[in-house]
Structure formats: structure tokens, C-alpha cells
Structure 1
Amino acid sequence: MSGPLEKMPFTEHLEELRRRLIVCAVAVGVGFVIAYFFKEKIFAWLMQPLLRALPPDGHQKLIYTAPHEAFMTYIKVSFLGGVALAVPVILYQFWRFVAPGLYEHERRYLYPIVILSTIFFLGGAAFGYLVVFPYGFQFFASFATEYIAPMISTKEFLSFATRLLIAFGLIFELPLVTLFLAKLGMVKASFLQRQRKYAILVIFVLAAILTPPDVFTQVLMAIPLLILYEMSVWIAYFFGKKEPAETQEEKADETTPSAA
């Protein structure tokens, strides 16, 4: 069984990182050009959950308050679309960058992980769009009264939507990252179980950082993160490297995940 590749000098690591970043940038650039031709449709699609949540007798359009704001919004929408199209390339380059440090039997998981990473990221973004957006926008729109009308700018809406879509895409990678680390023996179910109380604290802090400064959106992100963490415990338990029989007997009570 061959081990990791020979240790590379730091300068070679930097050169390898530079090459892969250039490939990612080119992929995003190509995706940007493609997405730009569909920028109006992409933005209209992004707006649908918000428009459905706005009062029917209210202002059913977004506004822009600076001469260049609409143009810059379409540029940002195109960039977001470019990133979405380039996700498989970006994830492939990331995993290829870490692959030289793996054993040969570990590197065989590379392509399945790239495929699953893409599915999980896009699935997380879809969860944010299909589940979090409708409830979140309905909650915010419920504060409208006859004296307070929602007039949302394109800039603020796109910033809100982009942050949530990317955040949910990233957090849905948690079970897959756990699976990868568990296969390498770097993470064990017993460790995740012991750190659960700290993980809950970190999850709520992370949700506060990644979402806008309101409790409702933070909870909408924290709940899926808690579920994903519990899934990760069981993934590490079933798919992680097994300890010797005598060690397993000594730690039987410790390694079996318990309810939160």
C-alpha cells in the first residue's frame, strides 16, 4: 500500500495552490459569461419567494436608489450564477489539492466525494431557497401595516439572498466532511458525542455570523445545522475506522451515540 506522496516544499504547495485557484477563477469566469445572458431570468427566479410574501395590495417590485444599482445587481447575479455553475470544478480542485497527502486507498474516494460535495452544496442552496426563503420572507413581511410598507432595494435583497444561499450550501457539506474524516480515522463518533454541548454553542454562534442580524433567520439556520451534526455523529459511528476489538469493548458505552 503506497503512502502519501513525498513531502513537497512550501513553495511548491503555493505554486500548486496558485494553479488550482487560476482554474477555479477561469471556471467562474466562464460561468459568469453564460449566466449573464440569463441574468434577468435568474434574478426574477430569486425574487419569487419574496414577491409571494409581500402584501398583495403592496409594492410588488424591488427598487433601486442609485443610478448604477440595477446594473451592479445584474453583475452580482451573473457572478452568483457563475459560481453555481463552477461548483463542481471548484470542489474538484479543492479535493485534488488535498489528495497528495492521502494514501492510495484513500484517494479512490476522491471522485465520489467530488460528486457528493456538489450534490450536497446545491442541495443546501435549494433548501435555503425552497424552505428558508418562503418562511423568512413571510415573517419579515408580516410587520407591514397600513403605515409601514415594504420597499426593498435590489442591492439589499441580493446581499441577503446570496449570503443565505452560500451559507446553506456550505453547512450541508458537514455530513460529507465528517464521512471523509471518519474514513481517515481523524474523527470518531465518541469525540463528536462528547463535544455535542460545545457544538451546539458553536452552531448558534456560526448561525449568527452567517445570517443577517435577526433571531428568526439564525434559528432557521441553526436547526438544520443541529440535525446535520447529529447525522454526522451516526455517520462517524457507522463508517469510521473501527478500533481493535478489545478497545471497542472498553469504550462501548462511550462510542454509541446517545440522544441529544
Structure 2
Amino acid sequence: MRLPAIARRFDPRRRRSKVNPDGSMPLAEHLYELRDRLLISLAVIVVTTTVGFIWYSNSLPGIPTLGDLLTRPYCDLPAESRASFTADGECKLLAIGPFDQFMLRLQVALTAGVVMASPVWLYQVWQFITPALKQKERRYGLSFVLAGSLLFVTGAVVAYFVVSEAFDFLLRVGDEVQVTALTGDRYFGFMLQLLVIFGVSFELPLLIISLNLAGVLSYARLKAWRRGILFGLFVFAALATPGQDPFSMLALALGMSILLEFAIQFARINDKRKSKRRPDWMDVDDDQAAPLDVDGDGPTASTIEAPTPIPAAQPRTGRAAGSFDEVL
């Protein structure tokens, strides 16, 4: 990924290349690089948060306002299932504090800013850990950033559609005797937690695939742990979802299970591909002799020539020997 000229000037990799071409550097230099990458990420998040703050009440071309998008699952409910605070019956949330509206808008804008800036801070994370990887593994940088951003956004989108079913169950289960009056912080807190939890949880296959490519996690181990991991995913979904409703729990658990199976199958194909290029002597124990490669390009019994005998030593003759006899 080639950066613009101005961005390349402040790229922390310039310090790394000055210290050592292979990317190694002392601990102090690593801390300086971590600081620079955090500052770059925070600067981008500030810009995207500003965009989200403006987008909260102002529509973009072809896109409704961010506030309308987030309140749509609640406002789509029947009017008798939610409380109305306006004379014309317009769908509005309740604010009970003087700073609630500003803080709520800032909270929503910050969450939207982190999501929109995810390609940048994911790229910074990848570039920071790159020196610990081999040259071949560094090529996955762009794929890591794109896949991580896509999975995060996909999880947030799935959570958005799940919220509609969750609200339909939670707010209509007892609407015969009561009407729900939601405050803005309670509603948006539920929404944002669900969006972030789904987005982060959908990064699970990327983590497993990265560990498999690095040789840390094999397919055989994943296959042996599959049932335990699936059980852990359902327990995690039951504890992580804020509403404790069956729709969001099942959606999160099933979504993570499908992504887990995809990651396991990827590990199976990757390990099978690597095993074809792995020589047989790598699997032999240390105290066992490796077999000869009689079918391949290695040495065979027919290619080993018989040893040539060393000729016997001949007695010395000539003037030097005669002179020696004369001395005796």
C-alpha cells in the first residue's frame, strides 16, 4: 500500500529503515513507533468522529441522518408499543438531563468514527507487528486490513437487522399492560453495545487464520477443539449480548459458528498444502534415523561408488638411502 508523499514523510517506518533495514530496533525505538502509530490512529479517529457528529443530524447525499438510521428499529414499532412525547405523535426518545443530548450525540459520533477509521488503525496495528513476521508473511498486510474492516462492518450490519427483531420481542412482550418509554442513553447504549460486540466478534476467523498462517494453530488442533470452541461461542453470546434476548444471542452465536467453520476449513486446506511441500524426514523423531530417499533426487545405493584402495608404501631408494647406510 503506497502512501501519499505527505503521509510517507510522517510514516514511522522511516525511523525503522534508518535504524536497521530488516526492521529491528531497540525497545525505545519500538515505543516511539507505537506512540507515532497511536497518534496517527487517534488523529484519523478525530476526523471521522467530526464527520459522525455532523452526520448525526444532517443527511448525506442519498443517506439519511445517523440519528434516523439508529432510531429506525425503535420507530418502526407500532405506536401503541412505545410512548409518545410530542403532540403529533412523532417518534422521539426521552432526555432527562441538560447534557444528555450533547453527550449522546458525541457518543454516537465517536462510535461511528471508530468504525469508519477501522481501515487506518487496523493498518497501523499490522505495520507495528510486521517486524516480528517473515518477509513472506508481511505480504498479507493489505488483505489483513481489508478483511478486518469488512468483517467488522459486516458484524455491525448484522447486528442492526437483529435489533429490529430484538425490539419487536422485548418491547411487545407485555404491551397489553405497559408502554415502554426509552431514554436516549439507554436506547443508544443498547444499540452501540450490540453493534460493537457483533463487529468485534466477527473478527474471530481473521484471528484464527492469522495464527494458522503463522504456524501457531494447526487444523488438527482446531478439529480436536471444535466442540469446545462452539460451546464457548454460545456461552459468550449469552453473556455478551446486552439485551439477553434469544434473537440477538442466537444471531451472534450462529454467525460466529459459521465464521469459525470457515476458518477451520481454511486451516485444513492451508495445512494440506504445506504438508505436500514438507519433506518426510521432518516428521522423524530425533532419536530415529531418517529413511533414504530412494525414489527421489537423493543418493541411492547404485550411485555410491566403491572405495578406491590406498596403494602400499614403497621403500625409499636412491642417493639419500645410500648416504644413510654409509652413516650407519
Alignment TM-score, normalising by the size of structure 1: 0.85
Separation (CA, whole Å) in 2 of partners of 1:209 and 1:198: 17
Give, in whole Å, the separation in 2 of the partners of 1:81 and 1:215.
25
2:297 maps to: none
Which deviations, in whole Å up to 9, do the C-alpha atoms of 1:90-118 show, x marking residues without a partner?
11111111111111111011112211211
Q: Which residue of 2 aligns with 1:17?
A: 34
- The answer to whether residue 74 in structure 2 is matched with residue 46 in structure 1 is no
Tell me how far apart the structure 1 counterparts of residues 230 and 217 of structure 2 sit (CA, whole Å).
18
- Quote the residue 1:194 is aligned against: 224
2:105 aligns to what? 74
Superposed CA offset, 1:79-138 (max 9, x none): 1121122111011111111111111111011112211211111111111112x1121111
Change in Cα spacing, 1:213 to 1:9, as seen in structure 2 (3 Å) is farther
Structure 1 gaps of 5+ residues are: 250-260
Q: Is the 8 A contact 2:48 2:112 kept in 1?
A: yes
Q: Deviations over 1:10-57 (max 9, x none)?
A: 3333322222111111111011111211112112111112221x3333
Amino acid corresponding to residue 48 of structure 1 in structure 2? R
Determine the C-alpha separation between the residues in 2 that align with 1:198 and 1:215: 23
Q: Distance in 2 between matches of 1:193 and 1:8?
A: 38
Please, which of 255, 267, 274 is the counterpart of residue 242 of structure 1? 274
Maintained 8 Å contact 2:104/2:185: yes
Counterpart-to-counterpart distance in 1, 2:279 and 2:191: 50
Q: Which amino acid aligns with 1:174?
A: L
Amino acid at match of 2:55: F
Relative contact order: is structure 1 or structure 2 higher (C-alpha 8 Å, sep ≥ 6)?
1
Q: What TM-score comes out, normalization by structure 2 length? A: 0.68
The answer for unaligned runs of 5 or more in structure 2 is 1-20, 58-64, 84-90, 284-328
AA matched with 1:171: S
For 2:205, the equivalent position in structure 1 comes to 175
Q: Is residue 91 from structure 1 mapped to residue 115 from structure 2 by the alignment?
A: no
Q: Equivalent residue of 1:111, what SS? A: helix
The alignment status of 1:117 with 2:148, answered yes or no, reads yes
Q: Secondary structure at the match of 2:274?
A: coil
Could you tell me which residue of structure 1 aligns to residue 188 of structure 2? 158
Match of residue 43, structure 2, among 26, 29, 50: 26
3-state SS of paired residue (1:67) = coil
| Contact kept? 2:190, 2:243, Cα under 8 Å | no
Number of residue equivalences? 245
Q: Does 2:66 align with 1:35?
A: no
Q: Which amino acid aligns with 1:88?
A: P
Name the counterpart of 2:171: 141
Specify which structure has the higher proportion of helix.
1
1:254 alignment partner in structure 2: none
Code of the residue aligned with 2:256 in structure 1: it is L
Deviation, 1:7, is 4.8
Q: Distance in 2 between matches of 1:215 and 1:158?
A: 17
Distance 2:78 2:70 in 1: 18
Change (3 A) 1:146 1:215: closer
Give aligned-pair identity as a percent: 30
RMSD value, Cα: 2.4
* Structure-2 separation of matches of 1:174 and 1:22: 26
Q: In structure 2, how many angstroms separate the alpha carbons of the residues matched to 1:220 and 1:206? A: 12
Structure 2 residue 73 is matched with structure 1 residue 63: no
Q: Greater CA radius of gyration, 1 or 2?
A: 2
Work out whether 1:233 is the aligned partner of 2:287.
no
Alpha-carbon distance in 1 for matches of 2:268, 2:261: 11
Query: How far apart, CA to CA, are the structure 1 residues paired with 2:218 and 2:33?
Result: 31
**Hey, what's the Cα distance between the residues in 1 that align with 2:230 and 2:137?**
30
Deviations 1:143-188 (A, max 9, x none): 2323210111110111111111111111222222222222222221
